[in-house]
Amino acid sequence: MRWRYNKLCQLHHWSNDVDRQFIFNQLSGQTHVLSRLALDILELIKHEKIVDDDGVWSQLVDLYENFDPSDEDMRQHVLGMLVSLDELGLIEPSRSL
Amino acid sequence: MNFSKLPSSELQHLLLQGQLKFRCGFFSLCLQSDLPELNNLIQRMYANYSLENSEFSDFQINLSPHGIVHRFWRPQVQFWVDEKAPFKPFPRDTALPFLEWGLNWCIATHAHHYLMLHSGVIEKNNQALILPAWPGSGKSTLAAALCQRGWRLLSDEFGLVRPQDGLLAPFPRLIPLKNESIVVFRDFAPDAVMGPEYPKTRKGTVCHVRPPTDSVERDQELANPRWIVFPKYRKGAIMNLRPIEKTQAFVTLSGHSFNYDLIGLRGFQTLANLIDACDCYTFEYGGDLEQAVAQLNALADGLI
């Protein structure tokens, strides 16, 4: 699956704790509480414009020193997060090549 | 001039004519009523409010008998605001609680220039303590108790946070105590001015405490938020004031707001700034008001 950032979102950020990142989406009026990992995924997709599942995973492995590239459970967890971010309307699938 | 200095005949005349205009915090209210039983009650309980001459009022309120049949059989009273009746009528002998609840409704549904929190707010040395809680958690009792021991009451019901500067706006009104807390408070503050008891309301027995004179006179004085304390009364509980993470406070406090979802980005930013400015706690207490007040005084005095 290829992903892109939802450009209609206007996100505002607040946090006082590494593990709980508060995001206000001005488009939906909703507040989301994300983990640091989820926020990093969001930032990564925003920066990359379009990126696929493998691209997200490989960049996270580079970003987080403690990530094991062969850790399939963690990889599935990250893929699940992509689906969750899509459900929140923060990212969306991209059909562009 | 305030209510206490107004001759009762003049007060009655103004009430009948719908010209009883007064200020509470940053709101201007105009009251009309042809219920004679309200005259003395309002004069006593609203004694310290300042009368206003302004043409403009935020809310034009009228309390009047409801229906012809109900003038004689189970008399009822209707609450009108700006010529609309948002509620079903109440029994006439609960006119004062109806007025107070109606006023709360007016603020909660209109004052969206503030981030509105369902909370008590009290202040000492220009540092405000916010007490957000669900009904039955003891916030009104705690607020009433603290303002009998040197704190200033901003409100027992509304934390009104100004988005532009994060300051808290006062709205000092009668404090409605319910059920067992009425006796507990009478023992705690026998000199406090209290109204009649209203049994069998939807919330049980209700009795109002008049806000201290100083709190009403300083109703234009904004306050800096300093502490957020989520109180929880539990009969027999051992008192426990416990720091909590600000992120947890954010989630809980947003749930205690009347309009966080409604005012969008202003709500998010105002709440975030408020949380940043405050130390946050949960506070469980078992009904010993002296002990609870001592603990919150210690917090305010930097001893905790």
Mean of pLDDT values over B217-237: 96
Among B247, B265, B276, the residue with its CB nearest the CB of A24 is B265
Q: Which chain A residues contact residue B268 at CB under 8 A? A: 12, 14, 22, 24, 31
Predicted ipTM?
Answer: 0.90
pLDDT at B72: 66
Q: Which residue in this structure is represented by tokens 């049994």?
A: B199
Residue A97 reports pLDDT greater than 70: no
Residue A36 reports pLDDT greater than 60: yes
- Render pLDDT for A65-82 as a digit per residue (tens, 0 to 9): 889 999 999 999 999 999
A16 touches chain B (CB under 8 A): yes
- Render pLDDT for B124-149 as a digit per residue (tens, 0 to 9): 999 999 999 998 899 999 999 999 99
Residue A48 reports pLDDT greater than 90: no
pLDDT at B83: 87
Sort A67 into a burial class: Cβ within 10 Å, 0-12 / 13-18 / 19+. Answer: middle
Domain-wise residue ranges, chain B:
3-110, 115-300
Res. B55 pLDDT band, cuts 50 70 90: confident
A13 touches chain B (CB under 8 A): no
* Chain-chain contact of B268 with A33 (C-beta, under 8 angstroms): no
B208 and B146 in contact (C-beta within 8 Å)?
no
Among A17, A24, A29, the residue with its CB nearest the CB of B245 is A17
Q: CATH no. for residue A14?
A: 3.90.930
Residues 6+ apart with CB under 8 A from B73: none
Q: How do strand A2-5 and strand A91-93 relate by DSSP bridges?
A: antiparallel
* Chain-chain contact of A12 with B254 (C-beta, under 8 angstroms): no
Among B245, B261, B269, the residue with its CB nearest the CB of A29 is B261
Q: How far apart are CA B98 and CA B80, in angstroms?
A: 11
pLDDT at B73: 67
B143 and B122 in contact (C-beta within 8 Å)?
yes
CA–CA–CA angle A71, A76, A82 (5° rounding): 130
Considering its fold, how many domains does chain A have in total? 1
B98 and B63 in contact (C-beta within 8 Å)?
yes
CA-based nearest distance B101→chain A, Å: 29
Average pLDDT, chain B: 95
Residue B69 reports pLDDT greater than 80: no
| Pick from B208, B116, B133: nearest CA to B169 | B116
* Chain-chain contact of A14 with B272 (C-beta, under 8 angstroms): yes
Mean of pLDDT values over B173-185: 96
pLDDT at B40: 93
Q: Which chain A residues contact residue B246 at CB under 8 A? A: 16-17
Mean of pLDDT values over A7-33: 94
CA–CA–CA angle B131, B137, B139 (5° rounding): 35
Q: How far apart are CA B7 and CA B3, in angstroms?
A: 8
Chain B residues at the A interface, defined by Cβ less than 8 Å, are: 245-247, 250-251, 254, 261, 264-265, 268-269, 272, 275-276
| Pick from B177, B301, B171, B145: nearest CA to B227 | B301
Mean of pLDDT values over B223-249: 96
Share of chain B above pLDDT 70, in %: 98
**Helix, strand or coil, per DSSP, at residue A48:** helix
Q: Which chain A residues contact residue B252 at CB under 8 A? A: none
**Helix, strand or coil, per DSSP, at residue B179:** coil
Among B247, B265, B272, the residue with its CB nearest the CB of A17 is B247
* Chain-chain contact of B268 with A14 (C-beta, under 8 angstroms): yes
Q: Which chain B residues contact residue A18 at CB under 8 A? A: none
* Chain-chain contact of B246 with A17 (C-beta, under 8 angstroms): yes
* Chain-chain contact of A24 with B250 (C-beta, under 8 angstroms): no
Considering only A29-33, B23-27, B52-56, B259-263, which range has the smallest mean pLDDT?
B52-56
Nearest C-alpha in A relative to B268: A24
- Render pLDDT for B22-45 as a digit per residue (tens, 0 to 9): 999 999 999 999 999 999 999 999
pLDDT at B29: 96
Mean of pLDDT values over B110-134: 97
Residue B269 reports pLDDT greater than 80: yes
- Domain of A52 in residue numbering reads as 2-93
- Render pLDDT for B206-224 as a digit per residue (tens, 0 to 9): 999 999 999 999 999 999 9
Res. A40 pLDDT band, cuts 50 70 90: very high
Share of chain B above pLDDT 90, in %: 90
Res. B245 pLDDT band, cuts 50 70 90: very high
| Neighbour-count burial for B198-220, b at 16+ CB within 10 Å, e otherwise | beebeeebbbbbbbbeebbebbe
Res. B181 pLDDT band, cuts 50 70 90: very high
A36 touches chain B (CB under 8 A): no
pLDDT at A95: 78
Per-residue tokens: B244: 């909590």
pLDDT at B202: 87
Phi, psi of B77 (to 5 degrees): -130, 145
A35 touches chain B (CB under 8 A): no
- Render pLDDT for B71-89 as a digit per residue (tens, 0 to 9): 666 789 999 999 899 999 9
- Best mutation target among A16, A30, A34 (most B Cβ atoms within 10 Å) is A16
